[in-house]
Amino acid sequence: MKRIGHLIKTLQNNSISTVASFVSPYRESRKAIREMVENNIVVYVKADIETCKQRDTKGKYEKALKGEYRNFTGVNDVYEEPQHAEIIIDTDKVSIDEATQIIIKYVKKHYVK
């Protein structure tokens, strides 16, 4: 996570806007990113384990449940929900189009002048 934060910070220092998407299961990692970069928006894309298993086209959850993968987030490793996410997208309740509009509306309201 520190490498990702460093890369984002470097890009921002060169006036390059950045959108980064990654699994970030630990609060401490998210806190470190937030402290490193400017204009950090945490978008929590919320989905329970059953939903994730249903959407898994590569069979990774099944393998993790069988013990083939160690430290797999949400199966045999923790996921600490964000406590301070600017946006929460509950994928069981919101469509992709609705989620997109929520994010766009937030960015326009807080960052576009």
Q: Of 21, 24, 29, 95, which residue is the catalytic one?
A: 24
Could you tell me which residues come within 8 angstroms of residue 77 by beta carbon, excluding any fewer than 6 positions away?
25, 71
User: Do residues 87 and 102 touch, judged by C-beta distance below 8 A?
Assistant: yes
- Residue 24 falls in the annotated catalytic set: yes
d(CA 1, CA 58): 24
76 in Cβ contact with 64 (< 8 Å): yes
Q: Dump the DSSP string for 45-72.
A: EE--HHHHHHH-SS-HHHHHHTTSSSS-
Q: Which residues are catalytic?
A: 24
